[in-house]
Chains A and B, each alone.
Chain A
Amino acid sequence: MSLDTVKHAAETPDAAQPWKELGLKEDEYARIREILGRRPTGAELAMYSVMWSEHCSYKSSKVHLKQFGEKVPQNDAMLVGIGENAGVVDVGQGYAVTFKVESHNHPSYIEPYQGAATGIGGIVRDILAMGARPVAVVDPLRFGAADHPDTKRVLPGVVAGIGGYGNCLGLPNIGGEVVFDSCYQGNPLVNAGCIGVMKHEDIHLAQASGPGNKVILYGARTGGDGIGGVSVLASETFESTGPAKRPAVQVGDPFQEKLLIECTLEIFKEKLVAGIQDLGGAGLSCATSELASAGSGGMRVELDTVPLRDSSLSPEEILMSESQERMCAIVEPQHVDRFLEICEKWDVIATVIGEVTEGSQLEIFWHGEQIVDVPPRSVAHDGPVYHRPFARPSWQDALQADDAGKLPRPQNGAELKDQVLKLVASPNQASKSWITDQYDRFVQGNTVLAMPEDAGMVRIDADSNLGVAMATDGNGRYAKLDPYTGAQLALAESYRNVAASGAKPLAISDCLNFGSPEDPDVMWQFAEATRGLADGCLELGTPVTGGNVSLYNQTGETAIHPTPVVAVLGVIDDVNRRTPVAFAEEGQLLYLLGDTAEEFGGSAWSEVVHQHLGGLPPRVDLGREKLLAEILISGSRDGMIDAAHDLSDGGLIQAVTESCLRGGKGARLVVPDGLDAFTFLFSESAGRAVVAVPRSEELRFTDMCGARGLPVARIGVVDGEEIEIQGEFSIPLSELRTAHEATIPALLA
């Protein structure tokens, strides 16, 4: 086939084009013709198709995401907001932290190992492109039922991929989640987050300005993998009988990425780049059009200079390829030699593929002939925007009316005990160490807290002991019952987890996982969740710095539970003051902070004991969350708290079990006045935590809670080798440990 040049396209307006196969709608294709005043060339069509995909353009979600930019809380910490590769916040002492969570859901179902591996690779490059050294990763994961045969295919592959890539890259994996629910059967959620650290003056942005500056592509050679990954995979619903989509999944090489990181950091150190962008979804199409669009506009690229793994690739394929471990930098001519020298030092291939021009068009040439001539903004930023119809689902009222409070409850101590053992052994509440032990949590030598702590924490300055913490949370069951509240509960839990570790929550990133936007039910869930999250962030004073939307997580007509996952970043002035979850010393006094009500809708208890999902999720009181966080942070700073554990799914008994097992000590608990044992143990009321207070600090601590108006109840003491609920039952720690730790290996090992 002859080359489809711009000239040829102008001369052959009626040539048939595969816009439909590339995932474009008819009106989108018409709009491209209107923008260009002619039909697009094959290469242009390829670029528009990937950049206007749901994954890259946010065309269905944009109108809702706007709120994150409108409802911005007063927060001095924000240095770079939404729109760049990742947001950046000030953490003091001249340091800035950049962080973000992204999804790699669809590829991870098709090819679990590579899908999950390249998910890590992609988010790490986003962080790197901001000028930061990546310092830690986290992984919120969701799979189908734990005992489903396909989970045994997907989960071990995903975990091995995350480990295989992240471990080889030298980034400690410090947190995340693992959740099982049959709603994720066929649509596992593989989200990945990364934290990076830099000095304020090192922040880099993705823009190409300064005519004459060179465009350098460096990193791996471009191959045929991941072609159309964003348009074909991430932006369509899986059909149960479709063709195999494996070729659309990228293949990762963590060794190459490690070299790319060290090489890029050395280049940053010598201040050799004017702008930089990583190549992820939509590959070169994305990098060139976004860099040009954010700069002065003009760029000329000689596409045939791109180093290839497969010399038979067509220009369209080169533009669409999502080969991993590549970066694109804009470099002033006098710095080019030094730039290439550093690349050579690290054995990284680097090629000047073009330059920034005076004009306003992105022009791409193939062996001297022009194949692309587009306004870059029209590709990168002016994609279609849809106001998808949405409506409260007809089944929502019935679901909420199906109150979990009416489910039969345990009648005596023996039944309570039985249900506690069932709960802590259930796949969602069981220990995940079989999974997290496959990740390196020690590398870089700065890990202060990692799984199964409430939040991961790393030191970022060894002299001052400044540190950052991160927790990720989401509860699809809550969000299904009420997406607005569910999103706020995810935010509240993640915020609480960070505070429980002793760090002050600063800002958030989110990964919004939903079904098909073409379904008004799903769109309503999405609209409600984003509204809830934006309102919640405004009230808590934690801005959204960026994130990612993953739609089309559904197979056929069945969508996943709406699953907004929230990552909260916190800062701690001195990591010596961090609070672990372990009850480690006998005699520590246990206090329950917050109010406990009969709230069982969406609870772990209702799932484990009754396989039930109905009613309303726990109420949210963000004012209370803020107060609780202040107490947890003050308590940690002033040495009043030895351990803390947030209460969330599974309620108090789950938290106490985890803290006892972690510290290897038992606890004797008394049901406080005004509560029954069942509600005390299993309620999932939000805004609560359990803390271990040294006896010497008891008065100071309770006085502080009293003075600030936080309800506090003494519930027991750390003691012995069993967990005893006075007057109800007791269970030896060894029995709890077996129940808690045997489940996951038995299902998956």
Chain B
Amino acid sequence: MTTRIGVVTFPGTLDDQDALRAVRIAGAEPVSLWHRDKDLHQVDAVVLAGGFSYGDYLRAGAISRFSPVMETLIEQAKAGMPVLGICNGFQILTEAHLLPGAMLRNNHLHFICRDQTLRVENAETAWTSDYSAGQEISVPLKNMDGRYTADERTLDELEAEGRVAFRYLDGNPNGSLRDIAGITNAAGNIVGLMPHPEHAVEPLIGTGRTDGLGFFTSIIKKLVNA
């Protein structure tokens, strides 16, 4: 049976088509999910894609977090279903308290779009097992509110438990604390990051590298072997 990976479209989601394409390229069956529909349509994992859901009005991710689809998603994620939040998706995951911390406006106050080098710090999550710990990858980064923030105790906990999944290299692009680009929950099924692996899955498009494909092949392997 083919692995089914869902991608949620909220009003204002922008990178849903890209995420669906990345899922397909990696070899799974992409499934479009709609924010008003509580039914996850038997998907094995879910990607919350980037964009400006609800225009980022109020706070990025703050409104989407209350969508009908999130009720089911939060419940199932807590029960172990793999969820990847990219950019706005990461913001939604923190707003939903599935991951700790929050994203503030970039410290330079501008939107920033560039190729970003990351170090994979944790290669044991559901979404990173195809990488090796310490591996450096380059994927596009593009955001306005990307500055990861949490209180000192949370940060220390994340570090101690190996839950910092990615760190920025060659310059912190937005002022994120401890250069954190992405984190995971303790179980390793929920991962959120600001950069965009779904934009780095074809050699000709985006950065010209396919460093992001590993997110999608990791999850497929995990689900097939499960």
**A and B held together in a complex:** yes
Q: Which residues of A contact B (CB under 8 A)?
A: 160, 163-164, 167-170, 253-256, 258-259, 346-347, 436-448, 459, 462, 575-576, 578, 749
A604 CB to nearest chain B CB (Å)? 27
| B196 part of interface (Cβ distance < 8 Å) | yes
Q: Which residues of B contact A439 (CB under 8 A)?
A: 111, 113
- A440 CA to B17 CA, complexed, in Å: 16
Asked whether B18 lies within 8 Å of A441 as measured between CB atoms, the reply is: no
Binds A, one of B7-15, B77-85, B118-126: B7-15
Asked whether A445 lies within 8 Å of B142 as measured between CB atoms, the reply is: no
Q: List 22 A-B contacts (CB under 8 A).
A: A160-B110, A163-B110, A167-B113, A167-B142, A168-B12, A168-B52, A170-B51, A259-B12, A436-B113, A437-B114, A438-B110, A440-B142, A441-B113, A442-B142, A443-B14, A443-B15, A443-B18, A444-B17, A445-B202, A447-B205, A459-B204, A578-B204
Partner of B52, one of A255, A436, A578: A255
- 0 or 1 for each of B195-225: is its CB under 8 Å from A? (1 = yes): 0101100101110000000000000000000
| B21 part of interface (Cβ distance < 8 Å) | yes
Q: Which residues of A contact B111 (CB under 8 A)?
A: 160, 163-164, 167, 438-440
Q: Which residues of B contact A440 (CB under 8 A)?
A: 111, 113, 142
- A739 CA to B14 CA, complexed, in Å: 36
| B56 part of interface (Cβ distance < 8 Å) | yes
B33 CB to nearest chain A CB (Å)? 15
Partner of A445, one of B12, B18, B113, B114: B18
Q: Which residues of A contact B204 (CB under 8 A)?
A: 448, 459, 575-576, 578
- 0 or 1 for each of B129-164: is its CB under 8 Å from A? (1 = yes): 000000000001010100000000000000000000
Asked whether A444 lies within 8 Å of B18 as measured between CB atoms, the reply is: yes
Asked whether B14 lies within 8 Å of A258 as measured between CB atoms, the reply is: yes
A405 CB to nearest chain B CB (Å)? 42
Asked whether A448 lies within 8 Å of B56 as measured between CB atoms, the reply is: no
Q: Which residues of B contact A446 (CB under 8 A)?
A: 205
Asked whether A255 lies within 8 Å of B54 as measured between CB atoms, the reply is: yes
A340 CB to nearest chain B CB (Å)? 17
- A444 CA to B112 CA, complexed, in Å: 17
Asked whether A445 lies within 8 Å of B206 as measured between CB atoms, the reply is: yes
| B55 part of interface (Cβ distance < 8 Å) | yes
- A445 CA to B144 CA, complexed, in Å: 19
Asked whether B113 lies within 8 Å of A258 as measured between CB atoms, the reply is: no
Asked whether A346 lies within 8 Å of B17 as measured between CB atoms, the reply is: no
Q: Which residues of B contact A (CB under 8 A)?
A: 11-12, 14-15, 17-18, 21-22, 50-52, 54-57, 108, 110-114, 140, 142, 144, 196, 198-199, 202, 204-206
- A441 CA to B199 CA, complexed, in Å: 10
Given A444-B17, A447-B205, do A438 and B11 touch, yes or no (CB 8 Å)? no
- A346 CA to B10 CA, complexed, in Å: 10
- A259 CA to B53 CA, complexed, in Å: 10
- A442 CA to B51 CA, complexed, in Å: 12
Asked whether B21 lies within 8 Å of A462 as measured between CB atoms, the reply is: yes
Q: Which residues of B contact A448 (CB under 8 A)?
A: 204-205
Find the A residue at minimum CB distance from B201: A445
Q: Which residues of B contact A445 (CB under 8 A)?
A: 15, 17-18, 21-22, 198-199, 202, 205-206
- A18 CA to B38 CA, complexed, in Å: 57
Asked whether B199 lies within 8 Å of A170 as measured between CB atoms, the reply is: no
Q: Which residues of A contact B112 (CB under 8 A)?
A: 437-438
Q: Which residues of A contact B14 (CB under 8 A)?
A: 168-170, 258, 443-444
- A480 CA to B50 CA, complexed, in Å: 45
A467 CB to nearest chain B CB (Å)? 10
A572 CB to nearest chain B CB (Å)? 12
Q: Which residues of A contact B205 (CB under 8 A)?
A: 445-448, 459
Asked whether A253 lies within 8 Å of B55 as measured between CB atoms, the reply is: yes
15 new A-B contacts at CB < 8 Å, known A170-B51, A259-B12: A160-B110, A163-B110, A168-B56, A169-B14, A170-B15, A254-B55, A255-B11, A256-B55, A346-B11, A437-B112, A443-B18, A444-B17, A445-B17, A447-B205, A578-B204
Asked whether A254 lies within 8 Å of B142 as measured between CB atoms, the reply is: no
Asked whether A437 lies within 8 Å of B52 as measured between CB atoms, the reply is: no
Find the A residue at minimum CB distance from B53: A255
Q: Which residues of B contact A169 (CB under 8 A)?
A: 14
Q: Which residues of A contact B21 (CB under 8 A)?
A: 445, 462
Q: Which residues of B contact A347 (CB under 8 A)?
A: 11
- A458 CA to B142 CA, complexed, in Å: 18
- A309 CA to B131 CA, complexed, in Å: 52
Find the B residue at minimum CB distance from A347: B11
Q: Which residues of A contact B55 (CB under 8 A)?
A: 168, 253-256
- A749 CA to B108 CA, complexed, in Å: 9
Identify which of B18, B108, B111, B113 gathers the most chain A CB atoms within 10 Å of its CB. Answer: B113
- A589 CA to B188 CA, complexed, in Å: 51
Q: Which residues of B contact A438 (CB under 8 A)?
A: 110-113
Find the B residue at minimum CB distance from A173: B113
What 5 A-B pairs come out closest when comparing CB atoms? A255-B55, A170-B14, A445-B18, A168-B52, A442-B199
- A442 CA to B196 CA, complexed, in Å: 9
Find the A residue at minimum CB distance from B173: A437
- A532 CA to B15 CA, complexed, in Å: 43
- A258 CA to B14 CA, complexed, in Å: 9
Given A163-B111, A255-B11, do A443 and B142 touch, yes or no (CB 8 Å)? yes
- A253 CA to B205 CA, complexed, in Å: 29
- A302 CA to B181 CA, complexed, in Å: 54
B199 CB to nearest chain A CB (Å)? 4
Q: Which residues of A contact B108 (CB under 8 A)?
A: 749
Q: Which residues of B contact A255 (CB under 8 A)?
A: 11-12, 52, 54-57
Find the B residue at minimum CB distance from A348: B11
Find the B residue at minimum CB distance from A345: B36
- A253 CA to B57 CA, complexed, in Å: 10
A186 CB to nearest chain B CB (Å)? 25
Find the B residue at minimum CB distance from A441: B113
Identify which of B12, B15, B18 gathers the most chain A CB atoms within 10 Å of its CB. Answer: B12
Asked whether B144 lies within 8 Å of A167 as measured between CB atoms, the reply is: yes
Identify which of B50, B55, B57, B196 gathers the most chain A CB atoms within 10 Å of its CB. Answer: B55
- A588 CA to B133 CA, complexed, in Å: 37
Find the B residue at minimum CB distance from A467: B204
Identify which of B11, B50, B196 gathers the most chain A CB atoms within 10 Å of its CB. Answer: B11
Find the A residue at minimum CB distance from B139: A442
A254 CB to nearest chain B CB (Å)? 7
Q: Which residues of A contact B140 (CB under 8 A)?
A: 442
Q: Which residues of B contact A253 (CB under 8 A)?
A: 55
Find the B residue at minimum CB distance from A462: B21
- A624 CA to B199 CA, complexed, in Å: 39
A665 CB to nearest chain B CB (Å)? 16
Q: Which residues of B contact A160 (CB under 8 A)?
A: 110-111
Given A170-B14, A258-B14, do A442 and B56 touch, yes or no (CB 8 Å)? no
Q: Which residues of B contact A167 (CB under 8 A)?
A: 52, 111, 113, 142, 144
- A215 CA to B11 CA, complexed, in Å: 26
Find the A residue at minimum CB distance from B114: A437
Identify which of A437, A443, A749 gathers the most chain B CB atoms within 10 Å of its CB. Answer: A443
- A160 CA to B56 CA, complexed, in Å: 16
